[in-house]
A and B are shown apart, each in its own frame.
Chain A
């Protein structure tokens, strides 16, 4: 039985007050809060067995290495990767995408090749490809959206040609909350001869993912959006792809052998992990995965769906709320972006903040999507496993306060 009140007890920060009001944290797509077990696990590492990994024969070094590598295995299981060699630790989903851009793209892409991304990508799945295109003369194409914000699959199929070498697409839009049909996209792309990178930063925290069933070539995600610490991300890659990729960082721990003239790289995944890693981060992430497994992702998913559906219903009853993306919950995960009358999102967010409510306001690292929507900024409320309907009620009440501060007034249009 999913008891959200019981779960909330595990998160120390949820007991804090902001401006004298209990914190209502609705910025989970930016980063989630951490349960005490994750925080304690990180402290424990530093207090009890801090040592560098893969190098030392002493007790602490061996213990740290064992736990670090166990987490790799736990993460492989979490996304049903065939084995833990397919799991590379990075500092976040952004670095994971950059690793593919430079480790794979720089090596294999040629002038005239095309990369297909979508209009709803986060900047982290746009900019690395733009940087690579300057270097390699490759072309980036954007899959357009339908009126409800969903992906235009007809256009996708038309844009997919023999020149398309990579399709890099988000599983869930960090603005619209839309869940893309990635299984269909992967199948179609493979038939056209392209490999597929899935940006799972928003989906892996809430949707059970099976990379083998999906046949995904790459999957990237970040620990901090799923109860883990910041500074840890994952690149999952098929073994043969990782094998042929170049490392990004040369240095210690990523080599088998170094001579004055040449070096031999270590096997995967170690060749991608040059330099001392974020050991505490990995170990903390391991605890977060354990916590999520204990709750069960399918229960978390259901909880979020219920909250989103409730929030949509309440928001749609407010005069002057414009919601971006579909207004039915079936296409949507835990994210709702909106604007309120013509009040700027930053003003909305500042007034909500005085009520202890944290939402995101701005372009949400998705400027191309915002310009497509014809806006420069939006408000975003995003939920996670510890949010409640009572919090949604307070959020709705606070929006009324926003309206009061602005005295029901709209800007004079000029």
Chain B
């Protein structure tokens, strides 16, 4: 594998111009107290990568999400790609997407067009030591959704 196959244009673009980066605007009329506001964070203790997510859920759908964090190009690009992919999806759809992402990185499943920009990250499965970086945002969201579910039906 050539290194450029890992650091593809699209990855560098997400890394250098991250989508949905920052904080959700809690003051806007649209969000004011109307929906449960969720946060989730996690880090990769080995390398110090950290991802912080904020999202709103309405009627079982994730209607908006922002991320912040620090880390390598792979972890931040993955987070950026993830926020684009999950926005507007139902929690069930997101959970199955997270599972799919895991299977792809474990080499158990091939990626497909429905994975959009994430396909560019598939190459990391050949670099086991960096899989954790790509997975971080996804597992943080998984935890966040789990916490949300606990909160609404304890």
Contacts and interface: CB of A to CB of B under 8 A. Distances in A.
Given A376-B50, A377-B47, A344 B73 contact: yes
Contact of B15 (A346, A354, A361, A411): A411
A54 interface: no
Interface string A310-350: 00000000000000000000000000000000011111001
B99 interface: no
Nearest to B43: A376
A362 B46 CA distance: 7
Contacts of B73: 343-344, 347, 406
Nearest to A414: B21
A407 B15 CA distance: 12
A405 B3 CA distance: 8
A91 to B, nearest CB: 22
A53 to B, nearest CB: 37
Given A346-B130, A410-B16, A376 B3 contact: no
Contacts, number: 59
Nearest to A343: B73
Contact of B7 (A345, A347, A414): A347
B11 to A, nearest CB: 10
A39 interface: no
B42 interface: no
Contacts of B2: 354
Interface string A249-287: 000000000000000000000000000000000000000
A407 B4 CA distance: 11
Contact of B22 (A361, A401, A414): A414
Interface in B11-25: 12, 15-18, 21-22
Contacts of A367: 48
Contacts of A410: 16
B120 interface: no
B29 to A, nearest CB: 24
A6 interface: no
Interface residues of A, number: 24
Which residue among A344, A377, A411, A414 has the maximum number of chain B CB atoms within 10 Å of its CB?
A344
A403 to B, nearest CB: 12
Interface residues of B, number: 25
B77 to A, nearest CB: 10
Contacts of A343: 73
A412 B47 contact: no
Contacts of B49: 346, 376
Interface string A375-414: 0110000000000000000000000010001110111101
Contacts of A411: 15-16, 18
A41 B18 CA distance: 54
A260 B74 CA distance: 60
Nearest to B48: A376
A183 B46 CA distance: 34
Contacts of A370: 48
Contacts of B91: none
Given A362-B47, A414-B22, A347 B72 contact: yes
A354 B7 CA distance: 12
A351 interface: yes
B6 interface: yes
7 contacts: A344-B71, A363-B48, A370-B48, A376-B49, A405-B4, A412-B17, A414-B18
Given A344-B72, A351-B3, 18 more contacts: A344-B71, A346-B47, A346-B72, A346-B133, A347-B7, A347-B72, A347-B73, A350-B3, A361-B47, A362-B48, A363-B47, A370-B48, A376-B49, A401-B3, A407-B12, A409-B12, A411-B18, A412-B17
Interface of B: 2-4, 6-7, 12, 15-18, 21-22, 46-50, 70-74, 127, 130, 133
Interface of A: 343-347, 350-351, 354, 361-363, 367, 370, 376-377, 401, 405-407, 409-412, 414
